[in-house]
Every structure is written in structure tokens, then in C-alpha cells.
């Protein structure tokens, strides 16, 4: 059980900037804090060991502990208004698409005070039926039901009218599709004796108000499913009036009764909710429910929400959505002016309990001339943040070729779903998680972290696997700066243009258009790229345009994926861009790095065999001092340099015609399989012992502008660099490439003459 956890408000900072840290300690235990530089996070006795270098500074010391709660569940919040307090008789209505109607009470639209039991809740009761709860604020609560169960994943028009004069409630539950032998339509009339109490609380959708906390509110009865076109009117509306209000065709006289009609198709890319009436009762979404979702009126004629926003007026809410943990700040670090660019973390702990909150310190603009910069793949780290695959994925054992080992952090995340999920998980209602945030503790973005999927030996993945490369750079004495994916996204080419070389980590999988364009521009201006991993530039992502620290991935058609987006929901809500694979966006990874994702397996790693291109004079600097036929038959990750995920060269997918294939891996096990985007028709022979596509190609090519690209095409490569005290052929090749790439002498290229 993790007893101390924290996170920071920034992922990268310049010297002199401030970064805040939020910490929760079990039972409020006091803790010590200190700053460390992360060089090597692998604790394996076969490698260099854990290397965390203390950096004495002003935050060192003891802090008063406190327990901070992470409140999950998304909803819409409309600030309180006198118009709500003035309600006597009223009608509340919406289109809904419930996904877990049998999972207990859930609130759809509510103005409710849990303490005084005043107000109303239009919701779903414990039997899965539409319900209306009325409270007078003096102890009398009436719970009324439609008496008919809602079906999961079906659209319904739901409404409740309260007639204060007659003391009558009418509940309407009208399915959009009538299925044979299905009894789910209802119109129920109930007599009530209480009055509507004034809750004096905000109007919430997909949850109800429970408690005001210091900097946020506690909510309850979170709803799983979609809501479209919610509305609230003063007075009782008949069927025709309800229908006209739903489609926005109410008369001016009828609109005079309407308190609010919220159109979720307006400004989908924002976190704002807009009331289309003159009352302007606008609100916000909390915890990032999924937007750009197909509405009740989706025709299928348009697959992009930007072309028919009125058909994408639904928001999909989840009881386990998390965006910002919104913990109170515990302390702030002003980054020392003389602090070297690198990967750092603030360690917090007491007794045997500890946690690390990592961040990057960048170098000042203009200081990177002639240097290398390491690109920290924060986009990919976020996509995998707090993933639950070892406990949730039924195929985890088959993928790994062994029973997954559960570490304490896996058990903690299984027991504490409120810490949010990764983009490899599904929500509690089975829908895919398309958003992931860094504004929460991320347990698998830590030194010491072990992964179920990291192969035999050092079972590392993503963040901690990248420290193998960081450690090698330090051991070899390279003065390397650091930037993050977010820097590349928000600042583009300016984030890396001063540098001679960009070095990637082991698995830079997730990239936005801005990131891709910046890296391509870097190459085109003569920059050099060292791609020391595999399965990079694979998924297209988007960052929210106004809310920091959150990204989106839509797992559209094709690709190796843990879940699939619904048809019609392939476009990012944050930007309106088509999601899915970069390959399906016309940009296969081969166009960027010379190789692209071809196979994966998670048992043991293999080796490379030298290819004829290794003897090409253009590659002489790479292979200098390396006469071996076999390269990388050793390593911390699976025992070899070619493992976990592999990339291959393919001219048809964009590998440049001047690309040299220096070495190719072989003899992978049948746990390694060709990726599904390569398979048009399923047939036997997709495993590593039979299929020639199961290989990693080590490649090199020059760009027309005098730059160059070197790709190892294996996630396991970094785990081989420290073998034999960093004296091995993988280390030698990597060092040869980096030293030549740092030499600003232009690579010679034979270009065709231009036409007149």
C-alpha cells in the first residue's frame, strides 16, 4: 500500500522558474523532501544499479504531512443562480445513453444539497429505472420511479415534470428505438405531498453535490453514459413542448419558461458548457468527460464532428474520470540558476515509505549550440500513466509469455481506481480511456519502477527504461541537455533548433502534429536524429488547447490497440484532427526515422546480425571498431538488444531510398508476432520463428540538407549499453554515431540536379 504520493504542477522548467509540489501522506505523517538528479532507475544487480544523485537545495527538510483525497468522476457544474431558487413547478429533461444502468443510483441532472436534503435529482434508481428525487429541506424526501428498467447503450428521451399546484410528478422514459419483446418505455404519474426545497447549490449533470471542501466539491452518484441536450424549464411542459425544446424549436412564448437549455455541441474543444437561452447559465466540465461523442441524432453521414457539430452534442461521463487531482500545494521549488539541464525528481518519504515526483530542467535558450538534447517522451509516459493491464487485460499472460508479476504499485492502482487510468485501459463501463493527465500521482513514472511488460531480467518500460540511455550518456561524458514532448508541442522547432542532435528514448510512441512537424523541420535544416528505440511516432495525439497537462488519443481503425474507438468518434475532441495511427494519417514512422513498428513480444530479447550495408563506406564511422557479426547478444532487457517492440525498414512505407540497413535482428520467439496493421487476411505463420517481418532493422541515412538519421529500431537497445562496464558493440556503435553527429561537418549527399 502506497502511503505517500505526490505530483508537480509542471513537467519541465527553466532555471529560475518555480515548480509546485502537492503531497499526500497516509494519516498525515510528516515527511522529508529532497531534490535528486535521476541518472539510472534500474535496481537490477546485473546493471549499474540505482543512481540518484542528491542535489542539496532550499526545499531540503521536514514538512507537515496531511492526507489529500483524489476525487474521481466527471460532471458538468453550472453555478447557482436565483433562477434556480425561484423554481416552483418545473420540467427537467435530456437525451441519455446509459452504459451501466444496473450499477446503483446515478444522478443525471441535479440541484441538490446532501446535508439539508433539499432540491431535486433526475436520475437512475437502484433498480435501473428513471427516477426523480424531491427534497423539501426539512426532512421529507420522496423518491419516484418510472418502474421500467433502462437498457444499456440505448438512447432515451427522459423527462420529469413537477406540478407544485397539483402535487404531481410525471416521469417520461421514451426509447429512441422500439425493440421487439422489450418493455422499456414508461410514463408514470405520482402524487407527492412535499414541496421543493431550495438547495442553494450549483446545478450538476452526471453527479450531485455532496460536500464543499477547501478547494473543490465532493460529488456523489456519478453517472456512466452520455447526456445530450439537457434542459430545465419553469413550469410543466406537455409532450409537444418537450419535443420542441429538445430540437431547439420552442416558440418565443415557450422559451420564456426555459431556465436553461445546454448545447454540448458548442465549443466542443473547450472545457466550457454553453446555455443557449438569454439567461446565459454557462458552466464547466469537471474531470474531463469525453466530448465529440455521437449524439442521439447522429446520422452517420459525417464522421468528423467539425462538419456536423449538431450531431455530436453528447458528452460521455464516467465515474472514474480524472483530470486534475486539485490537491493543495505543499511546497515550491525555485530552480537554482546554476542547475544543469537534466532529469530530476523531488523525493518525499518517511520511514520506509517514499515517492518521487520527476520533472525536467531545460537549458537556457541559445546554450545548446553544437550539443545533443535528449527528448523525454512525456506524451508516451502520460499515455501509459497508471495503466492497469496486468490486472485488467485478459491477454496479458499470453502477451508476456509468462504469468505477470504484480508489484505493490499494481495492487495499489487496482484497489484505488480514483487515481485514474491510462489510455490503455477501459473505464468502468467498458469504454476506452481517451484522455490522460499528468496532474495526479503517476506511479509508473518513477525510478525503481518495475513493469509487468518489460521482458525478462530488468522489467522496465517507458520512463525507467529511458534511464538506461540517460545513464550511458553520463557514463560516457556527453554533455547533453533535456527537453520534453510538451516543450516540442508548444514551442515547436524553437525547442530544439539550437541543438546538433536530438536523441530519443526507448519508446517515443505518441506524437502530436506539432511535435511531428517540429522534428521534421529539425531534420530538414540539417539536424541529426538518433532514434534509440522502437514503435515511435505511432499514435497521433492532441493536447488540450486551454487546459494544461492533458492529452487525447483516439484509437481509430487499425493499429495494435487495447481498445477501439466507436465508429464516428475517430476525431480528437481537443483539436478536431483525425486520430489513430500516424500511418493512417499518411505519415508512417518510416518517413521520420527510416523504420516503423513491425512486431512485438515480451518474453526474451534477441540479437542483430550484421548486414552487407554495414560495409558501405558511408557507414564506416558507425561500425568503426566493430567487426562482430553478431551485435547485442546481451542486455538487461530480456538478455538481448533486440526486443519488446521492433521496427523495420520498408521502402513502400517511406524508408528513404538512400537508407542503409546495417544490421537486422533474427531468431525471435513465437511470442513475437507481426503487428495487426500488416495483416490483411489472418493466416498462420505470424510468429518470430517463421515470419521475416519479425525483425528490427538498424538503419542510417543522410538527409538532403546535410543531416542524418540513425535508428536502432528496438526498445531493448538501451538496456544493452551498460553491459561489460559500457564496453560492448552496442555502446561502441551508439558512441560512434553520437560523436559523428555532434561533428557539425555536413554529411555529403549526392543530389539530382534541378530541372530548368
Report pLDDT digits (tens) over 573-585.
Answer: 999 999 999 999 9
On the question of pLDDT at 200 being above 80, the answer is yes
pLDDT tens-digit map of 68-100: 999 999 999 999 999 999 999 999 999 999 999
pLDDT score recorded for residue 447: 95
Complete domains list, the chain, with CATH: 4-70+325-361 (2.60.40.1930), 76-317 (2.60.120.200), 372-742 (no CATH)
Average of per-residue pLDDT across 452-461: 86
| Average pLDDT, integer, range 290-316 | 97
Average pLDDT value over all residues in the chain: 95
Per-residue pLDDT at 656: 97
SS3 content of the chain, % helix, strand, coil (to 5): 20, 35, 50
- Among 59, 51, 9, which residue's Cα sits nearest to residue 33? 59
Cβ atoms of residues 271 and 321 within 8 Å: no
Distance CA 73, CA 75 (A): 7
Is the Cβ–Cβ distance between 502 and 496 less than 8 Å? yes
Of 28-42, 566-580, 673-687, the poorest mean pLDDT is in 673-687
Q: Mean per-residue pLDDT for 668-678?
A: 92
- Whether residue 754 is predicted with pLDDT greater than 50 in this model: the reply is no
Nearest to 729, CA basis, from 643, 594, 535, 737: 737
Q: Of 31-40, 516-525, 689-698, which range is least confident?
A: 689-698
Q: Where is average pLDDT lowest: 197-211, 241-255, 333-347, 392-406? A: 392-406
Question: How many Å from the N-terminal Cα to the C-terminal Cα in the chain?
Answer: 71
Task: Report residue 710 as a C-alpha cell.
Answer: 540513425
Give the mean pLDDT of 534-550.
97
pLDDT band at 752 (very low <50, low <70, confident <90, very high): very low
Rounded to whole angstroms, the Cα distance separating 289 from 379 reads: 20
Residue pair 644/605 in contact by the 8 Å Cβ criterion: yes
Q: In whole angstroms, give the CA distance from residue 312 to residue 300.
A: 11
pLDDT of residue 748: 82
Binned at pLDDT 50, 70 and 90, residue 136 comes out as very high
- How much is the average pLDDT of 387-414? 83
Confidence band for 557, pLDDT divided at 50, 70 and 90: confident
**Which band of pLDDT confidence, cut at 50, 70 and 90, is reported for residue 755?**
very low
Residue 637 sits at the vertex; the CA angle it makes with 636 and 643, to the nearest 5 degrees, is: 140
750 pLDDT band (50/70/90 cuts)? Answer: low
The mean pLDDT of 225-242, rounded to a whole number, is 97
Q: Which residues pair with 67 in a beta bridge?
A: none
Beta pairing, strands 596-610 & 673-674:
antiparallel
CB atoms within 10 A of CB 392: 15
CA dist., res. 121 & res. 383, Å (int) = 35
Structure confidence at residue 532 (pLDDT): 98
| 397 has a pLDDT exceeding 50 | yes
Cell numbers for 596: 516503423
pLDDT in tens, 266-281: 999 999 999 999 999 9
188 beta partners: 171
pLDDT tens digit string along 637-646? 999 999 999 9
**Confidence band for 456, pLDDT divided at 50, 70 and 90:** confident
Determine the pLDDT at residue 391. 85
d(CA 220, CA 110): 11
Q: Round to whole Å and give the CA distance between 304 and 316.
A: 17
State the pLDDT at residue 389: 86
**Strand 501-504 to 372-376 pairing:** parallel
- pLDDT score at 683: 75
Strand order in the sheet with 4-8: 4-8, 18-25, 331-334
- Residue 751 in this model has a pLDDT that exceeds 80: no
Q: Which of 249, 232, 253, 231 is nearest to 240 (CA)?
A: 249
Amino acid at each position: 500500500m502506497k502511503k505517500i504520493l505526490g505530483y508537480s504542477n509542471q513537467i519541465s522548467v527553466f532555471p529560475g522558474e518555480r515548480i509546485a509540489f502537492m503531497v499526500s501522506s497516509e494519516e498525515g505523517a510528516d515527511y522529508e523532501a529532497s531534490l535528486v538528479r535521476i541518472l539510472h532507475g534500474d535496481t537490477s544487480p546485473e546493471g549499474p544499479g540505482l543512481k540518484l544523485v542528491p542535489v542539496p537545495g532550499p526545499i531540503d527538510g521536514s514538512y507537515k504531512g496531511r492526507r489529500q483525497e483524489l476525487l474521481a468522476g466527471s460532471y458538468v457544474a453550472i453555478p447557482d443562480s436565483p433562477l434556480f431558487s425561484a423554481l416552483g413547478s418545473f420540467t427537467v429533461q435530456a437525451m441519455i445513453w446509459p452504459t451501466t444502468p444496473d450499477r446503483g443510483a446515478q444522478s443525471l441532472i441535479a440541484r441538490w444539497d446532501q446535508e439539508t436534503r433539499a432540491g431535486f435529482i433526475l436520475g437512475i434508481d437502484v433498480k435501473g429505472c428513471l427516477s426523480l428525487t424531491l427534497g423539501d429541506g426539512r426532512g421529507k424526501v420522496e423518491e419516484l420511479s418510472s418502474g421500467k428498467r433502462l437498457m444499456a447503450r440505448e438512447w432515451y428521451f427522459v423527462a420529469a415534470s413537477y406540478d407544485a399546484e397539483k402535487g404531481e410528478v410525471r416521469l417520461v422514459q421514451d426509447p429512441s428505438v422500439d425493440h421487439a419483446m422489450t418493455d422499456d418505455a414508461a410514463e408514470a404519474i405520482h402524487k407527492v405531498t412535499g414541496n421543493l426545497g431550495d438547495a442553494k447549490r450549483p446545478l450538476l449533470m452526471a453527479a450531485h453535490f455532496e460536500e464543499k471542501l477547501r478547494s473543490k466539491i465532493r460529488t456523489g452518484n456519478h453517472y456512466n453514459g452520455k447526456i445530450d441536450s439537457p434542459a430545465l424549464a419553469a413550469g410543466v411542459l406537455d409532450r409537444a413542448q418537450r419535443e420542441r425544446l429538445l430540437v431547439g424549436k420552442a416558440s418565443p412564448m415557450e422559451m420564456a419558461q426555459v431556465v436553461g437549455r445546454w448545447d454540448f455541441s458548442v465549443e466542443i474543444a473547450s472545457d466550457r458548457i454553453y446555455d443557449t437561452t438569454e439567461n446565459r447559465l454557462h458552466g464547466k466540465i469537471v474531470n474531463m468527460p469525453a466530448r465529440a461523442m455521437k449524439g442521439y441524432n447522429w446520422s452517420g453521414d459525417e464522421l468528423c464532428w467539425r462538419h456536423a457539430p449538431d450531431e455530436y452534442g453528447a458528452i460521455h461521463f464516467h465515474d472514474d474520470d480524472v483530470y486534475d487531482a486539485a490537491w493543495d500545494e505543499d511546497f515550491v521549488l525555485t530552480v537554482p540558476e546554476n542547475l544543469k539541464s537534466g532529469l530530476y525528481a523531488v523525493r518525499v518519504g518517511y520511514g520506509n515509505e517514499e515517492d518521487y515526483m520527476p520533472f525536467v530542467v531545460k537549458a537556457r535558450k541559445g546554450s545548446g549550440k553544437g550539443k545533443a538534447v535528449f527528448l523525454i517522451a512525456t506524451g508516451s509516459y502520460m499515455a501509459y500513466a497508471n495503466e492497469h493491464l496486468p490486472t485488467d487485460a485478459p491477454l496479458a499472460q499470453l502477451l508476456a509469455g509468462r504469468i505477470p508479476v504484480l508489484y505493490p504499485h499494481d495492487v495499489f492502482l487496482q484497489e484505488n481506481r480514483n487515481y485514474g487510468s491510462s489510455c490503455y485501459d477501459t473505464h468502468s463501463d467498458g469504454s476506452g480511456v481517451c484522455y490522460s493527465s499528468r496532474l495526479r500521482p503517476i506511479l509508473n513514472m518513477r525510478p525503481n519502477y518495475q513493469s509487468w511488460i518489460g521482458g525478462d531480467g530488468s522489467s522496465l518500460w517507458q520512463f525507467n527504461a529511458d534511464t538506461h540511455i540517460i545513464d550511458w550518456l553520463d557514463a560516457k561524458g556527453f554533455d547533453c541537455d533535456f527537453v520534453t514532448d510538451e516543450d516540442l508541442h508548444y514551442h515547436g522547432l524553437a525547442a530544439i533548433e539550437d541543438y546538433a542532435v536530438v536523441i530519443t528514448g526507448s519508446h517515443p510512441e505518441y506524437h502530436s502534429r506539432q511535435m511531428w512537424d517540429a522534428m521534421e523541420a529539425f531534420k530538414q535544416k540539417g539536424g541529426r536524429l538518433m532514434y534509440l528505440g522502437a514503435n515511435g511516432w505511432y499514435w497521433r495525439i492532441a493536447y488540450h488547447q486551454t487546459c494544461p497537462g492533458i492529452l487525447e488519443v483516439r484509437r481509430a481503425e487499425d493499429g495494435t490497440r487495447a481498445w477501439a474507438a466507436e465508429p464516428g468518434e475517430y476525431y480528437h475532441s481537443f483539436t478536431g484532427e483525425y486520430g489513430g495511427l500516424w500511418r493512417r494519417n499518411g505519415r508512417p514512422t518510416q518517413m521520420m526515422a527510416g523504420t516503423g513498428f513491425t512486431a512485438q513480444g515480451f518474453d526474451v530479447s534477441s540479437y542483430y546480425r550484421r548486414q552487407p550495408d554495414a560495409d558501405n563506406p558511408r557507414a564506416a564511422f558507425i561500425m568503426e571498431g566493430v567487426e562482430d557479426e553478431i551485435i547485442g547478444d546481451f542486455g538487461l532487457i530480456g538478455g538481448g538488444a533486440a526486443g519488446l517492440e521492433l521496427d523495420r525498414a520498408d521502402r513502400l512505407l517511406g524508408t528513404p531510398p538512400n537508407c542503409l540497413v546495417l544490421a537486422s535482428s533474427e531468431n525471435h520467439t513465437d511470442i513475437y508476432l507481426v503487428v495487426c496493421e500488416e495483416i490483411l487476411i489472418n493466416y498462420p505463420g505470424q510468429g518470430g520463428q517463421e515470419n521475416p517481418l519479425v525483425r528490427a532493422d538498424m538503419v542510417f541515412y543522410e538527409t538532403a540538407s546535410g543531416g542524418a538519421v540513425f535508428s536502432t529500431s528496438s526498445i531493448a537497445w538501451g538496456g544493452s549499453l551498460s553491459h561489460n562496464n559500457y564496453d560492448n558493440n552496442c555502446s561502441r556503435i551508439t558512441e560512434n554515431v553520437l560523436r559523428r553527429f555532434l561533428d557539425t561537418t555536413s554529411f555529403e549527399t549526392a543530389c539530382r540536379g534541378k530541372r530548368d
